[in-house]
Structure 1
């Protein structure tokens, strides 16, 4: 791999590490304040977004599929490494924004996520890695398989936790009482 080809992957790594540093600087806990690291956080508890993975990890995987598709549509002449940099920049920006007091309070106001206190740095790191995996899968898999994965994960998370990427975006931007009531009926 030449230096020019290697640069975007190096920059991607720097973006991920810088995001973790920024989150620590913002006061986010490195890992669960409960005192232990677990593979999976339980939704509806204060440690739900504090562990390595949680039920929102699939949403971040789907970010990778969506970013790959969007960048393929608007920037297909740009080498894939630089498209990955753009996708990572967007994902990292979201992880930082998602962990600001304003967004945390917004989630607590308009969703059923009353126990949401933001992500641990470990969970944010895992979310970014999930996006990277989704981006890579979208690049490698046939379009119909990518589409099936997106629909499948959305249906799975809706069935299990009554949430998912689409519902999360709707409730954050345009909260609907009918969705909130349905989510609360767990």
Structure 2
């Protein structure tokens, strides 16, 4: 294959980010926090999904590990570049869908994210980069290390903020009053 047939991950990532940013601008998403500040870390609360990273950033790294595992099982003979592009497209589609009024309202109704207003474009772009980091890391580390990293990235936010990817998915798909009461602590 020629170099043109096998795009480099960084070029693919940058192209995907550009497309997502353009779509999110067209959706009217704010590029940065409407509070007027840009911070590395968004604490739990209204500014959380507006900053570069937040307590949900680890879940996007976990997405990368999970996409790598699933796509490797499904398309073992497919080139890594194709699997990476697929993972990027899934993550990009989720970032766009997650910032639609329907999904924002669902988060407000079913989860502890009462003041959630969606992500800033900066945060969504960061989430896509986080997934890429997870995917590319999963390619390099042994399976047992991948499992340990995923467990750590699920347990740390669970302990710190009573939420993580697993609970987020459960609460979006099949809300549980018991989980919601525990999260509200």
With the length of structure 1 as denominator, give the TM-score of the two structures. 0.95
Q: How much does 1:12 deviate?
A: 3.9
C-alpha RMSD of the superposition: 1.3
Structure 1 runs not aligned, ≥5 long: none
- Counterpart-to-counterpart distance in 2, 1:128 and 1:31: 16
Give the whole-Å Cα distance in 1 for the aligned partners of 2:153 and 2:10: 27
In structure 1, C-alpha distance between the alignment counterparts of 2:7 and 2:88, rounded to whole Å: 15
What SS does the aligned partner of 2:42 have? coil
Report the 3-state secondary structure (helix = DSSP H, G, I; strand = E; otherwise coil) of the residue aligned with 2:50.
coil
Which residue of 1 is the match for residue 69 of structure 2?
Answer: 69
Note the alpha carbon deviations across 1:127-172, whole angstroms, 9 max, x for none: 0000000001000000000000101111111000100000000000
Distance 2:47 2:25 in 1: 17
Q: Report the counterpart of residue 26 of structure 2 in structure 1.
A: 25
Counterpart position of 2:169: 169
CA contact (8 A) 1:107 1:172 kept: yes
Aligned 1:1-186 pairs, distance under 5 A: 2-6=3-7, 10-43=11-44, 45-185=45-185
- Partners of 2:85 and 2:17 in 1: how far apart? 10
Q: 1:13-45 CA deviation, whole Å, 9 max, x = no partner?
A: 3222101110111011001011010000011x2
Q: Distance in 2 between matches of 1:9 and 1:47?
A: 29
CA distance in 2, matches of 1:86, 1:66: 13
* Stretches of 4+ aligned residues off by more than 6 angstroms: none
Q: Secondary structure at the match of 1:6?
A: coil
* TM-score when normalising by structure 2: 0.96
Offset of 1:7 from its aligned partner?
6.3
